[in-house]
Amino acid sequence: MNRQQWMEKLRVPLLLAPALLILFLLFGGGLAVGFAQSLGYFPILGMTELTLSHYTAVLTDPNFLQSLWLTFRIAFWSTLISSVLAVAFALILREAFRGSQAATFVYQIPLPIPHLVAAAGIVMLVTQSGLLARMGVALNLMEKPGQFPVLVFDRAGIAIIMTFVWKEVPFIGLVVLAILKSVGPQFEEIAQTLGANRWQRFWHILLPLIMPGILSTSIIVFAFSFANYEIPLLLGVRFPTTLPVWAFRAYQDPDLAQRPQAMAASMILAVIAVVLLVAYRRLARYAIQS
């Protein structure tokens, strides 16, 4: 292989090198510092001896499994509901109808809105003093706003899931919609001529075609929902709380001696998220192949 061929082969890596270097230094450096602190290496406090005691403290905490289950449940339902609704909306929006362009525009509105703004909107909408409760009173559906179901600051995390769903449905849906429009209706038309009904055309034709898009985007949504702390911190109860909120509160503790335990919780959270994502990806691939 001559010099020109080597340069052509290395052209893309060299072009990506500056961005990858910055990403490696910022992300990898922070991860390395956090991992070192989780092992008890915190020179500012005179802690230089490496230990696993902070991991043991987190894993043996009686609230750990409860927080882990709440975190997983919120991420799972947020991803599942978002995926189902996204596919349904994509199937509707791919058809040309009067006002379809306006409907697609409205469908994309949640994408640029920050999650914190979305959480504030959910609070104003579904709290017991919110818009829906007051509309219920105005329509004589209830006597007072306090009779409205508790959906915010509840132990089930309903408002948290609602916020994630509202934000992530367009994210998944636009990817699925792009796939549907690129494929076109020809495969469905062929299946229809062979006697396949609407459900069979969806299950055997459309779903395998859009599954890669659903899989890739739902993995991102699950990872984000699992590791997000802002929304559970704003809309969740004080206890039980999700693992990211638990780690964030420990990190903010004025007692810096709690910092290693917060870092240990963060490292455990990262490992669990990676394991769940790998398992989810393999199960999804197995479902596609079968």
Query: Could you read off the pLDDT of 33-47 as tens digits, one per residue?
Result: 888 888 888 887 777
d(CA 38, CA 263): 5
Say if 21 falls within a structural domain: no
Q: Give the model's confidence band at 73: pLDDT under 50 very low, under 70 low, under 90 confident, else very high.
A: very high
- Residue 86 falls in which region: left (phi positive, over 0), alpha (psi -120 to 50) or beta: alpha
Question: Does some domain include residue 176?
Answer: yes
Residue 115, in any domain of the structure:
yes
Tell me how far apart the alpha carbons of residues 250 and 257 are, in angstroms, rounded to a whole number.
10
Residue 65 lies in a domain: yes
Range of the domain at 215: 55-289
Q: How far is residue 169's CA from residue 86's CA, in Å, rounded to a whole number?
A: 5
Residue 171 falls within a domain, yes or no? yes
30 domain-assigned = no
Please state the domain count of the chain.
1
In a domain, 81, yes or no: yes
* The model's pTM: 0.83
Q: Please report whether residue 5 resides in a domain.
A: no
Where is mean pLDDT largest: 56-70, 134-148, 157-171, 195-209? 157-171
Alpha-carbon distance of 225 to 215, in angstroms, equals 15
| CATH code, domain carrying 260 | 1.10.3720.10
Residue 2 reports pLDDT greater than 70: no
Q: What is the DSSP letter of 202?
A: I
